Amino acid sequence: MSDLPRKAAILGAGVIGSGWLARLIDSGVACSVFDPAPNAEAKIAPVLDNAERAAAALIDAPRPAKGAWSLVGSIAEAVAGADLIVEAVPERLDVKHATYREIEAANTDGIIASSTSGFRPSVLQEGMARPERLIVAHPFNPVYLLPLVEIVGGAATDKAVIDRAMALYTELGMKPLHLKVEIDAFVADRLMEALWREALWLVKDGVATTQEIDDAIRYGCGLRWAQMGTFQTFHIAGGEAGMRHFMEQFGPALAWPWTKLMDVPEMTPELVDRIAEQSVTQADGRTPRDLEKIRDDNLVAILKALRGTGWGAGQVLADHEARLRGK
Ligand SMILES: NC(=O)C1=CN([C@@H]2O[C@H](COP(=O)(O)OP(=O)(O)OC[C@H]3O[C@@H](n4cnc5c(N)ncnc54)[C@H](O)[C@@H]3O)[C@@H](O)[C@H]2O)C=CC1
Ligand SMILES: C[N+](C)(C)CC(=O)CC(=O)[O-]
């Protein structure tokens, strides 16, 4: 029996909503999309093209026929009959709450899955008539390629909704990570923000350029993170005695302290200019669209390599292909 939704509604077709659309239709799910922007279709098309290009190169199993999709004129029309409602509207609490009011007026039982990158589900649930069906399903860009989705329930979320969501996102070829404790920004964004804060200070203080910081990640720790994360990596770095020795040896350094995590540098126009200009220089004439294709090609190559070793995201891909072959 399939755990996929019969019909999904996607509210907001920007970077994330379009990515969800690509992933859902690639699993054969029919979708209705609502976005008030006049150029919504033009925003969606390149994402679907990129996603198809990536899936064709990545997935080594028969893929189902694409799900039908259409842009519709209202939230009510989009959510009618939907058993999964993907909320990907801008990161503003008032906009999200207004969206839930419109959903509740037109749909009483679909799962409402917010893509928010920071709001706790209990905060999103405030004022809802039926909050038990709302979860956070926080994805990562590009949604059509990165498997992680953080699943977080609020105080009012029904346990059965979490269970259903875990099965559904698994069948979409993803790695749903159920976070049992809700905190602002969940787990992955907390980790990324710590790195981002340090990076901003390093640029502001003139210690390193954006290029040098990106090189420090991509030639070293980034390669390790993609396959083992941080704890297993440091467990190995402790030698035969593993993590215990690692912590004895490097734990004291945490007290010195090296980091500036508590503060954020003020985003002065000078700092924004410096970061923006260095990022453009680094891109070396490539537009963000050009970089997107390079990013996707590299992600496909990395995922295929990890499929070969059966590690992490590669195992998720292998399991997805096995499910597709079994259909
Ligand atoms: N961009 C990113 O890297 C990530 C963003 N997110 C989250 O995804 C959500 C959407 O973010 P993005 O896609 O980046 O934003 P975006 O700005 O690319 O897209 C938002 C879209 O929502 C539309 N919109 C505005 N009001 C609306 C309404 N009332 N109903 C339906 N659509 C409406 C806009 O026209 C726009 O197309 C946010 O909650 C964000 O925190 C999550 C993970 C990563
Ligand atoms: C910058 N961000 C907080 C919106 C990032 C995310 O939420 C996830 C991602 O794709 O990096």
Strand order in the sheet with 148-153: 69-71, 30-34, 7-11, 84-87, 111-114, 134-138, 148-153, 175-179
Superfamily of domain 188-285: N-(1-d-carboxylethyl)-l-norvaline Dehydrogenase; domain 2 (1.10.1040.10)
DSSP 49-97: HHHHHHHHHH--SPPPPPPPEEE-S-HHHHHTT-SEEEE---S-HHHHH
d(CA 27, CA 324): 9
d(CA 232, CA 243): 8
**Ligand 2 pocket, CB under 6 A:** 117, 140-141, 189, 192
186 C-alpha to ligand 2 centroid (Å): 11
Domain ranges of the chain: 7-179, 188-285
CATH topology of domain 7-179: Rossmann fold (3.40.50)
Do the domains 7-179 and 188-285 sit in the same CATH topology, yes or no? no
Instruction: Convert the pLDDT of each residue in 58-116 to its tens digit.
Output: 999 999 999 999 999 999 999 999 999 999 999 999 999 999 999 999 999 999 999 99
Instruction: Convert the pLDDT of each residue in 107-156 to its tens digit.
Output: 999 999 999 999 999 999 999 999 999 999 999 999 999 999 999 999 99
**Ligand 1 pocket, CB under 6 A:** 11-17, 34-37, 88-91, 95, 99, 115-117, 138-139, 141
Reported as a pLDDT band with limits 50, 70 and 90, residue 327 is confident
- Residues 200, 264: contact at Cβ < 8 Å? yes
Atom of ligand 2 nearest to the CA of 192: 11
Burial pattern 60-71, b for ≥16 Cβ within 10 A else e, equals eeeeeebbebeb
For ligand 2, atom 2: residue with the closest CA: 117
Strands 148-153 and 30-34: unpaired
Atom of ligand 1 nearest to the CA of 19: 13
16 C-alpha to ligand 2 centroid (Å): 10
ipTM at complex level: 0.99
256 pLDDT higher than 90: no
d(CA 134, CA 86): 10
**pLDDT (average), residues 255-261:** 81
Record the tokens describing residue 137, joined without a space.
């399903």
Q: Is 314 marked within a binding site? A: no
- 3-class state of residue 151 by DSSP: strand
Q: Is 13 marked within a binding site? A: yes
Q: Is 12 marked within a binding site? A: yes
Q: In this structure, what DSSP letter does residue 239 have?
A: G
d(CA 100, CA 106): 10
